[in-house]
Amino acid sequence: MGKYFGTDGFRGEANVNLTVEHAFKVGRFLGWYFGRNHKANIVIGKDTRRSSYMFEYSLVAGLTASGADAYLLHVTTTPSVSYVVRTEDFDCGIMISASHNPFYDNGIKIINGHGHKMEASVEELIEKYIDGETEELPLATRENVGRTIDYVAGRNRYIGYLISLATRSFKRYRIGLDCANGSASSIAKSVFDALGAKTYVINNDPDGTNINTNCGSTHIEVLQNLVREKKLDVGFAYDGDADRCIAVDENGEVVNGDLILYVCGKYLKENGRLKNDTVVTTVMSNLGLYKAFDRAGIEYEKTAVGDKYVYENMMKNGHCLGGEQSGHIIFSKHATTGDGILTSLMIMEVLTEKKMSLAALTADVRIYPQLLKNVRVADKQEARENPAVVEAIQKVEQELGEDGRILVRESGTEPVIRVMVEASEEALCEKYVNQVIDVMTRQGLVVE
């Protein structure tokens, strides 16, 4: 990770550690970098945070000042920006979003011309420009100044693409959608209505400050209540920029990314469409998922946390399905990044083709109790490598043996150490997580 760019772009509290000056300089650099040999064309999307408009204008000012043309998708999802970039010959794309973070945070995600997250080498060059370590860039003048173009048509084409992927009508299904008062608000209902579903939509009225607030994939209990109260067939919850999806079955039980990988992986294998009979996961996936994959004859690989790393593994090894427990699921036949609404459609394909409920499709998986606690620290690397902490982790590993596991890792977006334990009982998870955190506290590594 760089100074500003983490595993999911440049993220921080708006006008605190991510400012309009930062955004302007990102635009200035990208407009110059991609416009050295031709007039650069760069497409921008944003989520519903109040500060997203401010950052959009700053980016546009930087891009056009460097001579690039900026195409505005307006409020849309991260995967829609990826789709438009790779299908319509843009030099790169920018998504303004802090995903599942609170409304006062924001982020700048840069997507390369192939629809993937931008290469670290380019992000490093942007960081050097932001810090004044490179020469000032030339300003465009006269007819070379860039234009700003309304490009809502690009988002509409993405909606049409999603609708085209459905294999059957959803006419007999009653489906709940939690749009997190975010990007999905502009897309999800249109897609499911067009496919014939009876939709029950909540948290679909963004006001700039309510994105992710007690709603969406990080507050799944809201959708669980809706599914139970309305006796729906299935529900889908998205995060702020709709690149992740968490489902709820007909009984109101949560179907997270691990279970989605199992349902879709097993279905694709049964139909001879799971390339290499392999699913790519991250180190955060549940032990129960791997045991279920073993029974189903499905191979699996593990990457570092981040859909960026999942996709890199998929491309390197030719796999077609991968994702994270948090709901970032990648279907490489259809997309180059996690896509929450696409994931919903792929789950619906399994339901409609197999004529089974989501609860029945997940019944073979026994998810091990898992506890994750975030510990705010002054220095992530120091906390992770502290000898007493390392010793505490090793002790837990020995006591758990093959009946569980511990994972302690640095957050890619926050000054946080994440301590996760899986075990046969919840009490054991609590015991071992607290055991490691207590050591961190005694070592003076934790900040309030």
Is 178 within the bounds of a domain?
yes
**With bands split at pLDDT 50, 70 and 90, how would you rate the model's confidence at 61?**
very high
Does residue 448 lie in a domain region? no
Residues 191 and 317 in one domain: yes
**How far apart, in whole angstroms, are the C-alpha atoms of residue 372 and residue 231?**
31
239 is in an annotated binding site: yes
Q: What is the mean pLDDT of residues 48-76?
A: 98
Same domain, 383 and 354: no
> For the residues 18-39, what does the mean pLDDT come to?
98
Domain carrying residue 383: 370-442
**Is 339 marked within a binding site?**
no
Instruction: Give the pLDDT score at 254.
Output: 98
Q: How many CA atoms lie within 13 A of 86 on its CB side?
A: 18
Q: Which domain-ending residue is among 361, 378, 403?
A: 361
Tens digit of pLDDT for each residue in 155-197? 999 999 999 999 999 999 999 999 999 999 999 999 999 999 9
334 and 248 both lie in a single domain: yes
Last residue of a domain, one of 361, 392, 422: 361
Is there a domain that residue 326 lies in?
yes
Q: Do both 146 and 175 map to the same domain?
A: no
Distance CA 402, CA 443 (A): 29
Same domain, residue pair 232 and 103? no
Q: What is the end-to-end Cα distance of the chain in Å, rounded? A: 24
Q: How many domains does the chain have?
A: 3
CB-based burial label for 163 (10 Å; 0-12, 13-18, 19+): middle
Boundary-marking domain end, from 122, 154, 186: 154
Do 74 and 174 share a domain, yes or no? no
**Residue 217 marked in a binding site:** no
* 118 plus 186 within the same structural domain: no
Structure confidence at residue 403 (pLDDT): 84
User: 340-398, pLDDT tens digit by residue?
Assistant: 999 999 999 999 999 999 999 999 999 999 999 999 999 999 999 999 999 999 999 99
Q: Which of 51, 58, 99, 332 is catalytic?
A: 99
Claim to verify: residue 354 and residue 374 sit in the same structural domain: no
Same-domain status, 381 and 415: yes
99 has catalytic annotation: yes
Residue 96 backbone dihedrals phi, psi, to 5 degrees:
-100, 105
Q: Say if residue 193 carries a ligand binding annotation.
A: no
Instruction: Give the CATH number, domain containing residue 11.
Output: 3.40.120.10
pLDDT, average across residues 78-92: 97
Residue 12 pLDDT > 70: yes
Residue 144 within any structural domain of the chain: yes
Summarised one tens digit per residue, pLDDT across range 119-137 is: 999 999 999 999 999 999 9
pLDDT of residue 307: 86
CATH number of residue 423's parent domain? 3.30.310.50
Q: Are 30 and 123 in the same domain?
A: yes
How wide is the angle at C-alpha 153 spanned by C-alphas 147 and 155, nearest 5°? 105
Average pLDDT on 15-33 reads 98
Does pLDDT of 1 surpass 70? Answer: no
49 belongs to a structural domain: yes
| Cα gap 371→303, rounded to integer Å | 20
> Is the same domain home to 343 and 392?
no
Answer whether residue 161 is part of any domain. Answer: no
Please tell me whether residues 340 and 213 are part of one structural domain: yes
